[in-house]
Amino acid sequence: MPNMAIKHVAITSRRALTKCAKIGHTTVSVSRSLRKLTPTAFKTLRQAIAKVGHLGIMGQKIRLSDRELAANKVIMAVKKEEISKGILDPSQFTPGQHIFKTLTEVQKSPIFNLIKGMPKGGVLHAHDTALCSTEYLISLTYRENLWICTAEEGCKAIAFRFSKEKPTQKPVEDCIWEPMEEFRERRGEKNVAKYLTRRFSMYPFSKFVSNNQAWAHFMGIFILLDGLLCHAPIWADYYYNALKEFAEDGVQYLELRSLLPPLYCIDGDMLTTRDTVAIYNSELERFKADHPDFIGSKLIYAPLRGVEPSVVEQYVKTAVELNKEFPSFMVGFDLVGQEELGRPLIDFVEPLLKMPEHINFYFHAGETNWFGSPIDENLVDAILLGTKRIGHGYALTKHSMMMRLAKLLDIAIEVCPVSNQVLQLGVDYRNHPAALLLAANVPIVISSDDPSFWRCAPLSHDFYFAFLGIAPMKADLRFLKSLATNSIRYSALGGEEKRVAYQKWQEKWDKWIDDVVAQKYC
């Protein structure tokens, strides 16, 4: 459509100019300008062009119902106010700043509250142990039989472990195991809560000297949480609670990437990878029984990328086995870890080509701002390997051919705004490359990656920044609706599953629209 429009404008402009050249009083050299038009004609043409440009933006062609149009008025009035304030004083505009400095401010925003209530569909990009709120993590440290290993004279938490007896293995030489309740008594309950709140997230570091340093800190949280979460019953509870928190934030579906670590039992015995999936699967069934309006959850097996190709060969075999046993749950494959430090996909092409067609790839690719690096080239390999979606794709806009292929092949980009900011790819959301994906109508979904580590809502903060910071000012309910429906459209749900999913989402959507019209959020 925009393509057609460009051609049309070019032709119109050429015709107008030829005419001008003929009717001009003096000899007019034929130029590319439209200066011989009357101001009225100019403005008409200009409006037409602006309109066509606008319609090319993702979601703008959606037709809203009368109720939705009424809700849209409410939403846009609130949005306009927030933008106007921002233009008057950009230093107060939250999408121009780091989330760690604006978290409280954002939670007071009327737009944020509207978005919090909105049924947002599914989260298609999130990692196993970075889902739940800090409060929930701290509540887990009150569970029975938990030990903590501390260093630096009992001040620095190094690891956790559930055990009847004092654990025998030390994660580092000079750390000392003690029961969690003793640690809490010794340091004071409030101090411990404050300390763990910091250690379980990236706060207060809004500025790292580089994204490498940010990643090191980030990986440190995963490591610290390991002993706390990889205990089988906790793993089960953590996932159930994640589904609960996500549902409360207006998320009805979760496509989870997991390393699928073998879990440990209280007596130290280890379970298998298969058991980890089985635990997920049975918790999901339990959750769905308790919450019939929830759509569901699926699993993407996503082990670490910093390995030898032979290990990926093993990954592929594991994926095939797991999919065989859990065909409608364990449905996809990815590789995780900092792309810059791991290996590029091209190193693993041989084993990856052995993956059967029915197990989809959902590769991380292009999570970098190094233009022309091997990480950029992961975009090429991901697309050629037939990835169904691209995780992050932050660098995609720098590769116009890959961007057009993504559009042509209907590959959705999983955009994770807050994650990109915290992991130091960029600060100001108004410069986020996803704006260009919207403008070029490349399909995107909005995800939260690791909301636990930035103390954000499961999805609302990412939607908020996408709506207020990344999308054009005029982006409205059409945009929000297309983000929600995209998250179902580009999910791994099968045909009949999708039909049910849309239905469950639509019910909540209609209710929310009514609430918005009734000014329930204002």
Binds a copy of itself (CB under 8 A): choice among 67, 90, 156, 165: 90
By CB under 8 A, tell whether 96 contacts a copy of itself: yes
Helical pair 477-489 and 66-88, crossing angle rounded to 10 deg = 110
By CB under 8 A, tell whether 33 contacts a copy of itself: yes
Q: Residue 269 burial (CB < 10 Å; 0-12/13-18/19+)? A: exposed
Catalytic residue among 245, 255, 367, 414: 367
Of 207, 199, 201, 200, residue with least CA distance to 98: 207
By CB under 8 A, tell whether 82 contacts a copy of itself: no
Task: Please identify, among the stretches 105-113, 119-127, 173-181, 400-408, the one whose residues bind a copy of itself according to the rule CB under 8 A.
Answer: 400-408
350 in catalytic set: no
By CB under 8 A, tell whether 29 contacts a copy of itself: yes
Kindly list the strands in the beta sheet with 444-446, ordered across the sheet, starting from the edge strand earlier in the chain: 121-127, 251-258, 296-301, 330-333, 360-365, 389-392, 412-415, 444-446
Binds a copy of itself (CB under 8 A): choice among 114, 202, 225, 475: 475
113/105 Cα distance (integer angstroms) = 12
By CB under 8 A, tell whether 45 contacts a copy of itself: yes
Binds a copy of itself (CB under 8 A): choice among 32, 84, 204, 269: 32
CB of 48 to a copy of itself, least distance (A): 10
Distances (CA, A) of 318 to 208, 267, 276, 325: 37, 26, 13, 11
Task: Please identify, among the stretches 52-60, 156-164, 238-246, 443-451, the one whose residues bind a copy of itself according to the rule CB under 8 A.
Answer: 52-60
By CB under 8 A, tell whether 16 contacts a copy of itself: no
By CB under 8 A, tell whether 320 contacts a copy of itself: no
Could you give the count of Cα atoms lying within 13 Å of 164 in the half-sphere of its Cβ? 5
By CB under 8 A, tell whether 353 contacts a copy of itself: yes
Catalytic residue among 127, 364, 392, 432: 392
Tokens 């859990």 map to which residue?
326
392 in catalytic set: yes
CB of 410 to a copy of itself, least distance (A): 8
Helical pair 495-517 and 110-117, crossing angle rounded to 10 deg = 140
Binds a copy of itself (CB under 8 A): choice among 73, 170, 373, 510: 373
| Number of residues lying near a copy of itself (CB under 8 A) | 86
Residue 455, both tokens? 């103390």
CB of 350 to a copy of itself, least distance (A): 5
CB nearer to a copy of itself: give 245 or 367: 367
72/402 Cα distance (integer angstroms) = 34
Strand residues in 366-462 grouped as ranges (E):
389-392, 412-415, 444-446
Cis preceding-peptide flag for 204 (omega within 30 of 0): yes
List the interface residues with a copy of itself, window 428-467 (CB under 8 A): 428, 430-431, 433, 435-436, 439-441
Beta pairing, strands 146-151 & 156-162: antiparallel
Task: Please identify, among the stretches 59-67, 86-94, 120-128, 233-241, the one whose residues bind a copy of itself according to the rule CB under 8 A.
Answer: 86-94
Asked whether the beta carbons of 266 and 231 are under 8 A apart, the reply is: yes
449/460 Cα distance (integer angstroms) = 12
Binds a copy of itself (CB under 8 A): choice among 131, 149, 336, 425: 425
CB nearer to a copy of itself: give 112 or 467: 467
> What DSSP line would sit under 299-319, residue for residue?
EEE--BSSS-HHHHHHHHHHH
Tokens 């979904």 map to which residue?
445
Tokens 């106007």 map to which residue?
84
Binds a copy of itself (CB under 8 A): choice among 53, 154, 167, 261: 53
By CB under 8 A, tell whether 52 contacts a copy of itself: yes
461/107 Cα distance (integer angstroms) = 9
Asked whether the beta carbons of 416 and 392 are under 8 A apart, the reply is: yes
Binds a copy of itself (CB under 8 A): choice among 408, 500, 518, 522: 408
- Residue 195 identity: Y
Measured over the CA atoms of residue 464, residue 465, residue 470 and residue 472, the dihedral's sign is positive
CB nearer to a copy of itself: give 159 or 383: 383
Binds a copy of itself (CB under 8 A): choice among 131, 202, 228, 355: 355
By CB under 8 A, tell whether 63 contacts a copy of itself: no
Task: Please identify, among the stretches 24-32, 195-203, 238-246, 453-461, the one whose residues bind a copy of itself according to the rule CB under 8 A.
Answer: 24-32
Length of the chain: 522
Asked whether the beta carbons of 263 and 270 are under 8 A apart, the reply is: yes
DSSP structure class, residue 367:
-
Tokens 């959850």 map to which residue?
297
Asked whether the beta carbons of 335 and 342 are under 8 A apart, the reply is: yes
Asked whether the beta carbons of 73 and 517 are under 8 A apart, the reply is: no
Binds a copy of itself (CB under 8 A): choice among 223, 265, 304, 384: 384
By CB under 8 A, tell whether 23 contacts a copy of itself: no
By CB under 8 A, tell whether 268 contacts a copy of itself: no
List the interface residues with a copy of itself, window 177-216 (CB under 8 A): 209-213
Task: Please identify, among the stretches 71-79, 370-378, 449-457, 491-499, the one whose residues bind a copy of itself according to the rule CB under 8 A.
Answer: 370-378
Task: Please identify, among the stretches 172-180, 239-247, 382-390, 447-455, the one whose residues bind a copy of itself according to the rule CB under 8 A.
Answer: 382-390
Task: Please identify, among the stretches 61-69, 70-78, 82-90, 313-321, the one whose residues bind a copy of itself according to the rule CB under 8 A.
Answer: 82-90
List the interface residues with a copy of itself, window 101-140 (CB under 8 A): none
Asked whether the beta carbons of 450 and 336 are under 8 A apart, the reply is: no
Catalytic residue numbers read 367, 392
